[in-house]
Amino acid sequence: MPLVGNLLNWRHARTLLQIPLFVISVAMVLHGLFGPTLAPKNLATTLTWVHFRGALVFVLLFAGNFFCLACPFMFVRNLARKFFRPTRNWPRQLRNKWLSIALLVAMLFLYEWLDLWASPWWTAVLIIAYFAGALLIDAVFKHATFCKFICPIGQFNFVASTVSPLEVAVRDHDVCTRCATKDCIRGVREPAAPLVVIQRGCELALFQPRKVGNVDCTFCLDCVQACPHDNVGIISRLPASELMNDVMRSGVGFLSRRKDLAALAVVFAFGALLNVFGMVSPVYALEQFLATRFGVRSELPVLAFVFAFVLVCEPLLLIGVAAWITRVWSGSKRPLISLAVRYSYSLAPLGFGIWLAHFGFHFLTGFYTFIPVTQAAVADLGWAILGQPRWGLLGFAPNVVQLLEFGFITLGLIGSLLVSYSIAATEEVVHSERAFIPWAVLSLLIAVAAFWLMLQPMEMRGVVLGSG
Amino acid sequence: MLSRRSSLVALCVWLALAQGCRHQNESLSDLTLAHEVSPHPPRVGPVTITLRLTDTAGRHVDGARVTLEANMSHAGMAPVFADAPETEPGRYQSSMELTMAGDWFIMVHVNLADGRKLDRQFEIKGVGEKLAADFHR
């Protein structure tokens, strides 16, 4: 692509994109710590929970994992690595997604428990914790350890980008076959001083000729810039097609053998429902009911129960039953767990549709709210250059956006049905439709739950019970 | 380039000025703003907010221009603006439409007759959904 292609090929393209986001992050942290305590008046809460989340999912929908490309945490980390070099490898036992899944769940939990959406201060602390985490981990451990094994936002992006229309990929595999240097993964080093890296190769261990899909790809473009043959680029593809194939993937392995990745896809899908449930009226009635049943007055145990039920018990039950029916009814020879793992990935498109509906709603209905918040923030510094804050500015009409919500969920459902059908069609069974139907029913159930949630009245409360 | 001592002096002057500004605002803390919200418990829909502005001697503070701004606790939600005209000396009343269930923060902007300004904020927690009966009115 002209201009854009040349820009992305430039070795400092990533830095160029990271700098503005870093500056904005600093402004958000400062405003979160020292600015107005009311969330709609503060840059930290407005930009994080309205604009960042919304822009993230729309960029994933229409392009790919470009937010990881422009990640401000990596900007700081790259600066720091000019002064000190990590020497350790991430422990082998932790080279999986389990820790990052726990952190993703923790983040979703903290969001509800501490009402991060209502707290500029806690939002700022979260951003600082991210910077600190990225710096600390990547100061000690080599490569992109934070991105691949830790960052909750990154894991979210990896799953979501499986339905993105763009992918970093090889243009011509024959060129790779003839390549002797494999710079895309080894990087480019100074000939006279081999320890000096001129251009990094892939820090996430994705060897381009054998890379499949967007899982674990941060779109850092190191491979694009390292390739001496200009043979790596951002290529268009059929969204979610990578979920239909179970081939060996560089840096990832076989999806069907990655229980951790499957669990991440499940948390991604069911977490989408949970995150929406947390802001509709029925959740408060449920919390009161559970508190009465358990004899507690604090939100923490009630919330823990809800999380455990929705993210562990419910998926185990539903996916377990679907896998069992598939095995019994279709005559599949796969073990039960293998079936559950393989088909779990089919939930990713629907999960993304629900996240898109939720984050997209706040983004579109509050689209212009960053303007008065920025005006007020600048005015508080004594510079009245942006005029009086126009607090009445909002975004698109909620009733119009709600139609889009339903559209996103429907698209996600169609994606999940196509993926599960494609997986079933490649299974070695006599009746592939019998392998498909249980997963289609599961996707339909989740979609119906999502539609029901979107129809519930929104209710944003601080705490119903105590927050202890 | 400023010496370290000059920078410290400048910082102290800035802090003193900032304190002075805050004291000006704090001098308005001798005014009391009491509020009532009706109906109780509050529900989605119209609410009446009654404000009483008095000084430390308990005398009504009248002639002020009072405006209200209601925001939810989540960013990106529609704020609601309303005037609160004086209905009796020192008593200001407004009718606002709370558009969503949840917690609301009411910011009260007061322009006193003597030109001073006062800002206060209070919460309306747990605004409930409309009752079924309300839909049949």
Q: Is A25 exposed, middle or buried (0-12, 13-18, 19+ CB in 10 A)?
A: buried
d(CA A463, CA B41): 17
Confidence check: pLDDT of A331 > 50: yes
User: Between chains, do A366 and B75 touch, taking CB under 8 Å as contact?
Assistant: yes
Q: Does B135 touch chain A (CB under 8 A)?
A: no
The yes-or-no verdict on residue A415 having pLDDT over 90 is yes
Contacts of B81 in chain A (CB under 8 A): 391-392
Q: How distant is the Cα of A465 from the closest Cα of chain B, in angstroms?
A: 12
- Calculate the average pLDDT of chain A: 93
Q: Which of B75, B78, B71, B72 is nearest to A48 (CA)?
A: B75
pLDDT for residue B131: 67
Q: List C-alpha distances in Å: A247 to A158, A253, A347, A370, A426.
A: 17, 8, 19, 44, 12
Of residues A272 and A299, more confidence is placed in A272
pLDDT at A359 over 50: yes
| E strands in A200-249 | 232-236
Answer whether B35's CB lies under 8 Å from B124's CB. Answer: no
- Chain A residues in contact with B79 by the CB 8 A cut-off are 40, 391-392
**Contact between A40 and B74 using a beta-carbon 8 Å cutoff:** yes
Residue in A198, A285, A301, A253 with CA at minimum distance from that of residue A464:
A285
Alpha-carbon distance of A221 to A202, in angstroms, equals 8
| Phi and psi, residue A280, nearest 5° | -120, 160
The predicted structure's pLDDT at residue B133: 52
First-to-last C-alpha distance (Å) of chain B:
72
Q: A with B: how many residue pairs have Cβ under 8 Å apart?
A: 83
Q: Are B43 and B134 in contact (CB under 8 A)?
A: yes
- pLDDT band at residue A430 under the 50/70/90 scheme: confident
Helices (H), A278-347: 282-294, 299-308, 314-330, 336-344
- Whether the predicted pLDDT of A274 surpasses 70: yes
Task: Provide the β-strand partners of residue A336.
Answer: none
pLDDT at B28: 57
pLDDT for residue A386 is more than 60: yes
Residues of chain A found within 8 Å of residue B21, distances taken between Cβ atoms: none
Q: What string of pLDDT tens digits covers the 137 residues of chain B? A: 444 444 444 444 444 444 433 322 334 568 889 999 999 889 999 999 999 999 888 899 999 999 999 999 889 888 899 999 999 999 999 999 998 888 899 999 999 998 999 999 999 988 888 765 544 43
List B residues 9-38 in contact with A (Cβ-Cβ < 8 A): none
pLDDT at A427: 80
pLDDT tens-digit series, residues A88-146: 999 999 999 999 999 999 999 999 999 999 999 999 999 999 999 999 999 999 999 99
CB contact at 8 A, A135 and A76: yes
pTM to 2 decimal places: 0.90
Residues of A in contact with B78 (CB under 8 A): 365, 394
Percent of chain A having pLDDT more than 70? Answer: 97
Find, in chain B, the residue whose alpha carbon is nearest to that of A391. B79
pLDDT of residue A422: 95
Within 270-309 of A, beta carbons closer than 8 Å to B belong to 279, 281
Across the interface, whether the CB atoms of B78 and A394 are under 8 A apart is answered: yes
b/e code B60-73 from CB counts within 10 Å (16+ = b): ebeebebebbbbbb
Sequence spans of domains, chain A: 1-167, 168-244, 253-383+391-468
